[in-house]
Chains A and B, each alone.
Chain A
Amino acid sequence: MQFLTDIHILSLVAYIPLAGALWIVFLVPREKSGAIKAIATGVAVLDFVVSLPLWFAFDRGHDGYQFVEKASWIPSLGVEYHFGIDGISLVLLLLTTLMGVIAVVCSYTAIGERQKEYYVLLLLLQTFMIGTFCSLDFFLFYVFWEIMLVPMYFLIGVWGGERRLYAAIKFFLYTLAGSVLMLLGIIALYFANTTGFLAFKGLGNAPTFSIEKLTAVAAGLPADLQIWLFFAFFLGFAIKVPMFPFHTWLPDAHTEAPTAGSVILAAVLLKMGTYGFVRFSLPMFPEAVKTDWVVSLMVALAIVGIVYGAMVTLVQKDMKKLIAYSSVSHLGFVMLGIFAVNMAGIQGAVLQMINHGISTGALFLLVGIVYERRHTRLIAEYGGLARQMPIYATYFMVMALSSMGLPLLNGFIGEFSILQGAFAKSFWWALFAGTGIILGAAYLLWLYQRVFFGELSNPANAKLPDLSLREQLTLAPLVILALWIGLYPRPLFDVLRLPSEKIVAAVGGRTATAPAMAAGAPPALQEPSR
């Protein structure tokens, strides 16, 4: 582990894609599309391989940030270049590097024009996302958080669908509006730590943006200020999640983005918001999180998101839009788990972030595959595909089942854990959220029925080729992960245990509220006997 820290493994993982992007920009002419794809793939795979040792070297018994890198950046402001990860950022980081490979590989044939710019932007986005998850300095975090929007804006705007311009700028403006308010929150914390602002006395410490130090400072602030700051950060994160009622940018951005863009959006970008809640909002503002009306509001929004999102999903006619809206519902679950503020809730929430990345990412890939063949995503255009594309139908079935939370697949573990956490707080929370699971099964099964079963009525579908090897290669890792998490989630729970305990303790909850979960998986799943 010391060796990995010594070679600056986190910076390495973060900047390998950047180096690849610069390589393509300066050394590869735009006509050589084969070389561009090869380099982009090579760089993404290399990045994934370099990030893998983190999983093995990560010390599960160590309470704190690991692989820490620290250097002075802007001493005048107290800004440091400070990287480090705990269990929560570790799993998200690995998800990001894996999705990076898949995003590159799934774009070979889907992207026909301006390939050079496309792969450069994908790689840049990769660097910025990794940087966000690794940052332990608020200033650095904010830089990555904002700059990330730029490549995504262009990915949607250049290679997107018909309404791409509208979707791209809406995505940018919504998320920017939220994050600038978060910036004010950061500035307020900065002053709370140094010389004070408005009527609040500062602590008179040396200026710093260190997330660890400011978290400690924030937790000691008076309750009313904590609530204000909580909402400043809330807007930044809630828009990104997106929580109801800030979700309206999501269907547009998801639907218009190219396949790889949707995959990255669903798998990683949305997780930035929930990650923000877990990493910042809970430990920094415990007084706010303990205030009844704040928790009630958050949970109400989460439950409305779950139910409303699922109901809107039911009536969608466009496959991609359907999956986009299902994200609103799924992320409502994550938010519910977070604001249950107990071990089961938080571990389940982080696990569900990963699960949503895997299953929704895979569903977007699958929709992208038929879209590439037929150039339509309307459900009515399909039907009976199971006869023509059996392998495709199988993959789709597995991922749909995973998304709806069938036992033995990953989605079940996350949702079960979240519901367990919610139940510990209130029977009603769990009851309302439970209806979301039923609706989820309804929209996914109905979608599956309309697209895959019945007669192959539309002659345009009669000659569709089944999945190619490359397409299977993009899907296979996600299926394997879904099965692995579904059957044996314990390694993930192990990694998440200490950071989750720390967060629950920070908010003053009891860390032992969920004995079954703390030990690993729900008892029913300890021994996969079937």
Chain B
Amino acid sequence: MSFRGSDWILLSPELVLTSAGLLLMMMSVSFGKAKEEFLGFVGILSVVATGVALALAAMQPGRAQPALGGMFVLDNFALFFKLLILLSLILTILASVRFVGAAPYPGGEYYALLLFAGVGMLFMVSGANLASIYVALELMALSSYILAGYFKGERKSTEAALKYFILGAFSSGVLLYGISLVYGQTGKLGLADVAQLFASAERSNLTMLGILLILAGLLFKVAAVPFHVWVPDVYEGAPTPITAFFSVGPKLASYAILARIFYVAFPKFAADWGLIVALVAAATMILGNVSALLQTNVKRMLAYSSIAHAGYALLGVLGFSNPFGIWGILVYLLAYLLMNFGVFGLVIFLESHGYAAETVSDFNGLARRNMPAAIVMLLFLLSLAGIPPTAGFIGKYYLFTAAMKAGYAWLAVLAVLMSAVSLFYYFRIAAAMFFSEGDGAKLSGSYALTAAVAICAVGTLAVGVAPEPVLAILRHCVPLS
């Protein structure tokens, strides 16, 4: 165990973000409710500062080597995810500014918790050791539970937080049990060490149980069937910007560690966990899409849609035997971040005008009331359904390729058919926007929210039309250890 001076630089993004979170806590005590927009501004500044620190850390020579005694690694894979996480934080804060200002609860807590969840995620994606991954995951999860219940006075929000907490704590327990079994078998927690010992080890039932439990714990975090039941209630009950955040941020980080753990530590047993993941992916895609068809509430529909998308992304986990799997997850999560956050941005937009976005009919006639908003929403919906030339298509293309390449052709067939099914419920919103008459009043959004949606829209289209820059980066982003 050694601690080099340069490790401080590698850690600097996390340190900056933690300090900013603490600062925000203190500022919220001295600032009144009236100045809360300023807190949001500070939040954005701190994320930008974290980005600068990340740039410095990225330029550090030899950064891809494990640091902090093998606990922490800043390889390209982690770097890619950290950028996505910072982007998701900025988008969430932009979408929250007016929302938090209007809510009768202290805003400082809100932003601080968001940043702490961010710190947890930044540590997660850099985790090279099962213990550090677990601790980081808990930091993210605990912050998330509180955020889900941010509307303390409201029944639905409290219920969401409670459900999220109980099921989340249970799944963390499962994950921890799995980690302990692996530790018991190998006596190691570092991913590279575990892989090395497993490479020469025989397949034993206890090992498989450990791997299975780790998988189950992580599948809960990415909301795959059968660990998905919490999702619709939490998405419906939590404040909408937080729902938007939940649907992308924690998922990104969880997929990152799922990828890293299984790619680095357990490749030897890929044939065993592969079939399980394939079945889970199939069930997740079918259940997510079919349930979404039946929803009338937009938030619940989006919740099931996000379950379905978790299923698609699992195709990438299957494809770990070839680089298409990792690339697929990376590019798909980027696309998913942009398009899903964009959709939620428009739900928040409608909510800010007094529509609860409870039913699809709240979108009625949006084309007449704010044409750019309707067009942008259409873009996100097309992307979610995987129609070219959008980011969603490029992402799905990679995932389908990964599944074919890994020998799961039946799963690829199921996935493409399910993504055709998904068009049906996404286009219910499109039909409402363009074909129905609304009540005619023009709508306009706040600057911050408009900026967030614009970032998503430009990204969705740019990655779809000219994906080369992103794809070129991907080639260097396979996790090292």
Contacts and interface: CB of A to CB of B under 8 A. Distances in A.
Interface stretch (A70-78, A371-379, A474-482): A70-78
A165 B472 CA distance: 42
Contact of B388 (A142, A157, A168, A190): A142
Contacts of B45: none
A191 interface: yes
Nearest to B386: A180
A65 interface: no
B412 A143 contact: no
Given A74-B467, A180-B420, A143 B404 contact: no
B412 A184 contact: yes
Contacts, number: 86
Given A180-B416, A184-B416, A198-B409, A74 B401 contact: no
B424 A169 contact: yes
A176 interface: yes
B279 interface: no
A98 B455 CA distance: 40
B423 A176 contact: yes
A143 B389 contact: yes
A173 interface: yes
A147 interface: yes
Contact of A181 (B416, B427, B471): B416
B387 A150 contact: yes
B417 A154 contact: no
Those 5 A-B pairs whose CB atoms lie nearest each other, nearest first: A180-B416, A76-B471, A143-B388, A177-B420, A176-B420
Contacts of A190: 401
B407 A197 contact: yes
A76 B431 contact: no
Nearest to B382: A150
Contact of B468 (A76, A153, A195): A76
Interface string B46-68: 00000000000000000000000
A154 B468 CA distance: 31
A172 interface: yes
B409 A173 contact: no
A274 B419 CA distance: 25
Nearest to A181: B416
B273 interface: no
11 contacts: A74-B467, A76-B468, A76-B472, A154-B434, A165-B435, A169-B424, A173-B423, A176-B420, A184-B400, A190-B401, A191-B401
Contacts of A173: 420-421, 423-424
B413 A158 contact: no
Interface string B413-450: 10011011101100100010011000000000000000
B435 A184 contact: no
B368 to A, nearest CB: 9
Interface range on chain B (Cβ under 8 Å from partner): 20 to 34
Contacts of A187: 397, 400-401, 404, 412
Given A146-B387, A184-B412, A184-B416, A77 B407 contact: no
B475 interface: yes
Contacts of A191: 401, 404-405
Contact of B431 (A149, A157, A198): A157
A346 B28 CA distance: 76
Most B CB within 10 A of own CB, among A168, A180, A197: A180
Interface of B: 382, 386-389, 393, 397, 400-401, 404-405, 407, 409, 412-413, 416-417, 419-421, 423-424, 427, 431, 434-435, 467-468, 471-472, 474-475
Given A74-B467, A76-B471, A173-B424, A180 B435 contact: no
Interface of A: 73-77, 142-143, 146-147, 149-150, 153-154, 157-158, 164-165, 168-169, 172-173, 176-177, 180-181, 183-184, 187-188, 190-191, 195, 197-198
Contact of B400 (A142, A149, A158, A183): A183
Contact of B389 (A147, A157, A198): A147
A450 B336 CA distance: 57
A158 B435 CA distance: 6
A197 B405 contact: yes
A74 B471 contact: yes
B109 to A, nearest CB: 43
Given A76-B471, A150-B382, A181 B423 contact: no
A197 B434 CA distance: 43
Contacts of A172: 423, 427
Most B CB within 10 A of own CB, among A154, A168, A184, A188: A184
Given A177-B417, A197-B405, A77 B471 contact: yes
Contact of A76 (B405, B407, B475): B475
A164 B434 CA distance: 13
Contact of B419 (A164, A165, A180, A195): A180
Contacts of B412: 184, 187
B413 A157 contact: no
B76 to A, nearest CB: 16
B388 A146 contact: yes
B285 to A, nearest CB: 13
Given A143-B389, A153-B427, 4 more contacts: A142-B388, A187-B400, A191-B401, A197-B409
Contacts of B421: 173
A177 B423 CA distance: 10
A197 B319 CA distance: 12
B191 to A, nearest CB: 27
A149 B468 CA distance: 25
B461 to A, nearest CB: 12
A74 B472 CA distance: 9
